[in-house]
Amino acid sequence: MVFETRQIWTSSQLPTLSVLGMKVLELSRRSDVDPHELIELLRADGTFAHRVITVANSPLFQHVSADHAVVPIQTVQQAVEKLGTAVITSLTLTLAVSDACLNGGHPHGLSGNLWRQAIVKAVAAEIFCSQVREGLECEFFLAGLLLDIGRFALLRTAPQSYVAVLEKSKHELLPLWRTEQTELGLTSALVGGQLIEQWGFPTRLVHGIQVQFAPLTTFEQMSPSTECPLCSALALASAIGDYFCSEHQALSWFRIRELTREIIPLSETELDDTLRRVVQRFRSVAGALSTVADLPDVAILKLKALEQLKLISQRLITTPPAELTSSERKGPEQRGVSSESAALGPKAFRDPLTLVFTREFFEDTLHKEVQRCRQLSAPVGVAFVDIDHFAEMKSQHGGALGDVILKRVGGLLKDLLRSSDTIARCDHQFAILASDPTAKGMQRLADRIRGRVAGERLIWGGHPVPLTVCVGATLALPARHDQDLAPTIVTAATKAVQEAAIGGGNHIYFDSLVNEVELQRLFMINQFRFSRWLIAQGVLDIPRVGKALVDFKQPRVRLGELAMRQELLSTQEIELILDEQEESQDRFGTIAVRRDFLTEDQLIGLLILQQEDPLQAAEQFLCKGVLDQPRLQILLKEYFHLLPWAAPLYPSAERG
């Protein structure tokens, strides 16, 4: 159903520019701005003038004037004299835009992260200004700040519809602009451009906002001296802001690399350095613009991007084209749930208070994940998060505080977890189904959750409220006969969180349902695939590996068939293993090792080969131009030499 656009423009919640902001904007359109007129406008609003002076003394403008850090600015006139009319005009408009975005608040606590994202984009645009049009840093900063004004407008005027769009984009790993177009019939970039056009901003800024998601051909057709510098810088700044602050690291990274290869040329080293500069600059100016000065580490973002690439790749591999098309037409709640549950509608899968999934959705998803992992011999990871002393706090302060705590913890978990993880509310607890879990990974996840919640500051009735959680996590590996291991996993996670609570709160406890031998196998398989080995050796970074393997579709072959291909098992040995498997229901590889048909190293090698054939992966790196053939031959020889389980599978490669 197409969204009614008039809902935006007729809403009383539509962001508006202040009277002072409008007057300064009108003044800025003149070719010869009178500094005294600007000074008088600011003096007429004492509160706003004080804000301008405060920010003018902040690190935001240290690069503009070399001496004002030593001699603080004390009046509006001094600010204009030292920083210049253009700078103070941009600063005034920046503060006016800040008021337009943040005044009135937003539903579901989304305004803080969105404003932080807007500042990241402003900082990135400012940095790229030096490469495309030096001397206009303040204008580029303001333009970058306006990139997300359309998202603020949609959140304010159509909160329910737009939050649904955000959730769909997040859980289906789809570009937000495309989801907006599909669900609403418009994009936030279009809305933002129209809004600032109404305010009276210059046409070049309007155009820059509206083409931020445009294809490369749009920028190639622009005038290199007029349109292109601002528009290309804003497009790249938009992608960088989404990379740092959204849930679309993989998609944003592709956009960044696309733009830095063709429009604003940057090598990978230069780009990494630029991203670090963005983080440093953001941290220095965040306080002046009312946001928290924290951004995720660049290395962590690359890991997250790789995880998303893997998820997208697995989805493409395991889902036939017709089924994928059908799935994409469904909402995130309807994919992977029973038809009976789907009939209840999307709201049935979301807890109305915290906006995470419901217990029913979690149980249904866990059941299906167990079946999937049973077929793939992959582990299942579950964690339960229990809010310490929740009943006592609710009893002492009332249900309203309980709701605030649940919303706060739910929001923290959503920010902390990957988009491929599933989080659900189960009364005063939260349940998490982790994607691609490992034993150490589940323990680290539990401790990150504990630490993040413990560091949260909650004020109620003017007094601080201690907020901590206990986290219990478990890892299981479904066996062939485990038709439904889900209840066992839930029971184990429940016991784990109870064990964590014994210490009095703010503790974690991990209980593995996987025996030590299988845990070690899982660790070796996860760590020593050829692509992971290349990353560990520093040969390639995560984004390049992810890009090379994103369309790598290795068909899954049964372990026995692989062993026969490698001449490690005979037909008679396989028949004996299968006969025993019918009686014991043990895994094929476990029986093969127990009967001394395979060594442990050979089994690990076969399991690695089952997930990622090193030679096929190397071919992908060669075809994508990531590594050349001589280099690959050296690396393969080294890989097979250092990893004893791989060499028996490729004797010719071992000999070099």
Question: Cα–Cα distance between 101 and 68 in angstroms, integer?
Answer: 29
**How many domains are contained in the chain?**
3
High-pLDDT (> 90) share of the chain, %: 16
φ and ψ at 431, to 5 degrees? -110, 140
Give per-residue pLDDT as tens, 574-621. Answer: 889 888 888 887 888 889 999 999 888 888 888 888 878 888 888 888
Determine the pLDDT at residue 291.
Answer: 66
Determine the pLDDT at residue 333.
Answer: 43
Give per-residue pLDDT as tens, 273-313. Answer: 899 889 888 888 777 776 665 777 777 777 777 777 666 65
Average pLDDT over residues 560-585: 85
pTM: 0.49
Determine the pLDDT at residue 134.
Answer: 56
Instruction: Note whether 509 and 531 are same-domain residues.
Output: no
Which of 50-59, 97-106, 433-442, 468-477 is least confident?
97-106
Instruction: Note whether 494 and 535 are same-domain residues.
Output: no
Determine the pLDDT at residue 290.
Answer: 66
241 falls within a domain: no
CA-wise closest residue to 202 among 38, 29, 33? 29
Determine the pLDDT at residue 40.
Answer: 86
Determine the pLDDT at residue 443.
Answer: 93
Helix residue ranges per DSSP H, 248-320? 249-262, 268-285, 298-318
261 falls within a domain: no
642 falls within a domain: yes
Instruction: Note whether 444 and 569 are same-domain residues.
Output: no
Instruction: Note whether 475 and 530 are same-domain residues.
Output: no
High-pLDDT (> 70) share of the chain, %: 84
Average pLDDT over residues 24-41: 79
Q: What is the CATH number of the domain that holds 363?
A: 3.30.70.270
Determine the pLDDT at residue 340.
Answer: 38
477 falls within a domain: yes
Average pLDDT over residues 338-366: 69
Instruction: Note whether 372 and 504 are same-domain residues.
Output: yes
Instruction: Note whether 499 and 389 are same-domain residues.
Output: yes
Determine the pLDDT at residue 111.
Answer: 64
Tell me what the pLDDT averaged over the chain comes to.
80
Q: Which two tokens stand for residue 409?
A: 């913890």
Determine the pLDDT at residue 133.
Answer: 61
463 falls within a domain: yes
Determine the pLDDT at residue 62.
Answer: 56
Question: Cα–Cα distance between 30 and 27 in angstroms, integer?
Answer: 6
Question: Which of 469, 486, 514 is the endpoint of a domain?
Answer: 514
Determine the pLDDT at residue 314.
Answer: 54
Instruction: Note whether 467 and 614 are same-domain residues.
Output: no
Which of 19-28, 32-41, 102-111, 536-545 is least confident?
102-111
Determine the pLDDT at residue 89.
Answer: 84
Q: Which two tokens stand for residue 97?
A: 């835009």
Put residue 58 in one of left, alpha, beta given phi > 0 → left and psi -120 to 50 → alpha: beta
Give per-residue pLDDT as tens, 149-183. Answer: 999 999 888 888 888 898 888 887 788 888 888 88
CA-wise closest residue to 499 among 514, 490, 510, 488? 510
Question: Which of 52, 80, 103 is the endpoint of a domain?
Answer: 103
Question: Which of 514, 545, 579 is the endpoint of a domain?
Answer: 514
Instruction: Note whether 461 and 479 are same-domain residues.
Output: yes
Question: Cα–Cα distance between 490 and 496 in angstroms, integer?
Answer: 10
Q: Which two tokens stand for residue 309?
A: 């690439």
Instruction: Note whether 536 and 426 are same-domain residues.
Output: no
369 falls within a domain: yes
Determine the pLDDT at residue 497.
Answer: 94
Give per-residue pLDDT as tens, 200-257. Answer: 888 888 889 998 988 887 877 776 655 678 888 899 999 999 998 887 788 888 889 8
Give per-residue pLDDT as tens, 435-490. Answer: 878 888 899 999 999 999 998 888 888 888 889 999 999 999 887 666 678 899 99
- Contact 93/21 with Cβ under 8 angstroms? yes
Determine the pLDDT at residue 221.
Answer: 74
Instruction: Note whether 494 and 587 are same-domain residues.
Output: no
Instruction: Note whether 604 and 509 are same-domain residues.
Output: no
235 falls within a domain: no
Supply the range of the domain harboring residue 378.
340-514
57 falls within a domain: yes
Instruction: Note whether 576 and 458 are same-domain residues.
Output: no
Determine the pLDDT at residue 424.
Answer: 93
Residue 158: count of CB within 10 angstroms of its CB: 20
Higher pLDDT, 112 or 146: 146
